[in-house]
């Protein structure tokens, strides 16, 4: 019998599995940080975690509440600054970035700036921060988000952080390095990107979720492969470490 868990725990556990030992990952606070911490405390003890404000490879004692929280510098290799952090990304030294956004389109472009007319918007969001730099220069971008039709749109109304832009070859034509969007982990499924077209492609369905549900909550046509995988449940070990060592105060995971 599978252990009991909630959707946030599912997303964190699934995302953590993609972070390999010895790689580097730039994260924000919240769920991406929890996923990186979980990976470091389970299968990837040599994962190097970096924060936008300049904490490089800290040994996080607790979940930080911001990218500049003093805990992001605890026993770090370096207490640098934002300029050093962005330079590290642009030099090609960061394998993964974790991002979120208000809108994500079929080529993995992200809008975290505005919905509606730029000058008279329906909603204005915080904007880029370091997200544009991360999406532009880290080799692979991962996203964790709730799966809804209003979030997964045919075309972003504003591109804050570049994915594959208009499709295959567009990143390179714009002067950006190879790489780009890698995995999108939602409460329903895991998506990747088709190699030929760079369009979003479903890879696996979470337990109890059917394909029609994912299609109904996506505002564009997903690439559907011949075989769709089934996402593995969080393990007892993953949940124990997540609940007891990563987020014992349940700041992110909530109540299972």
pLDDT of residue 222: 97
**How confident is the prediction for the chain on average, in pLDDT?**
93
Cβ atoms of 127 and 100 closer than 8 Å: no
Q: Cα 225 vs. chain centroid, distance in angstroms?
A: 22
- Give the integer Cα–Cα distance in Å for 77 and 196: 40
Cβ atoms of 32 and 138 closer than 8 Å: no
For 152-171, the pLDDT digits (tens) are: 999 999 999 999 999 999 99
Average pLDDT of the segment spanning 2-27: 95
> What is the sign of the dihedral through the CA atoms of 231, 4, 252 and 63?
negative
For 14-24, the pLDDT digits (tens) are: 999 999 999 99
For 55-75, the pLDDT digits (tens) are: 999 888 888 988 888 899 999
Greater confidence (1 vs 237) lies with 237
For 187-198, the pLDDT digits (tens) are: 999 999 999 999
Query: Active-site positions?
Result: 52
User: On the CB side of 32, how many CA atoms lie within 13 Å of its CA?
Assistant: 24
Cβ atoms of 181 and 143 closer than 8 Å: yes
pLDDT at 255 over 70: no
pLDDT at 256 over 60: no
Greater confidence (3 vs 151) lies with 151
- CATH code given to domain 7-246: 3.40.1080.10
- Give the integer Cα–Cα distance in Å for 122 and 115: 6
In the chain, pLDDT over 70 holds for what percent of residues?
99
For 67-111, the pLDDT digits (tens) are: 888 899 999 998 998 899 999 999 999 999 999 888 999 999 999
For 194-226, the pLDDT digits (tens) are: 999 999 999 999 999 999 999 999 999 999 999
Q: What is the pTM assigned to this prediction?
A: 0.93
- Give the integer Cα–Cα distance in Å for 69 and 116: 33
Question: Cβ contacts of residue 189 below 8 Å, gap of 6+?
Answer: 147, 202, 203, 204, 205, 206, 209, 214, 231
- Residue ranges per domain, the chain? 7-246
pLDDT at 52 over 50: yes
Cβ atoms of 83 and 97 closer than 8 Å: no
């Amino acid at each position: 019998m599978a252990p009991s868990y909630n959707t946030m725990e599912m997303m964190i556990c699934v995302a953590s599995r993609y972070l390999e030992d010895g790689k580097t990952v730039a994260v924000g606070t919240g769920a991406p940080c929890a996923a990186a911490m979980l990976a470091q405390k389970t299968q990837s003890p040599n994962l190097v975690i970096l924060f936008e404000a300049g904490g490089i490879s800290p040994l996080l004692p607790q979940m930080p509440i911001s990218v500049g929280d003093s805990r992001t510098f605890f026993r770090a290799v370096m207490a640098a600054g934002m300029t050093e952090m962005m330079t590290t990304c642009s030099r090609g030294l960061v394998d993964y970035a974790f991002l979120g956004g208000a809108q994500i389109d079929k080529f993995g472009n992200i809008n975290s700036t505005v919905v509606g007319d730029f000058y008279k918007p329906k909603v204005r969001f915080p904007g880029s921060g370091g997200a544009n730099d991360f999406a532009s220069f880290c080799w692979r971008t991962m996203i964790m988000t709730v799966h809804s039709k209003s979030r997964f749109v045919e075309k972003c109304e504003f591109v804050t952080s570049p994915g594959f832009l208009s499709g295959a070859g567009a990143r390179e034509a714009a002067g950006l390095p190879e790489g780009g969007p890698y995995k999108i982990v939602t409460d329903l499924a895991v998506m990747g990107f088709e190699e030929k077209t760079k369009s979003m492609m479903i890879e696996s369905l979470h337990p109890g979720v059917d394909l029609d549900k994912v299609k109904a909550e996506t505002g564009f046509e997903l690439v559907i492969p011949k075989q769709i995988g089934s996402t593995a449940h969080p393990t007892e070990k993953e949940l124990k470490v997540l609940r007891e060592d990563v987020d014992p105060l349940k700041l992110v995971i909530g109540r299972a």
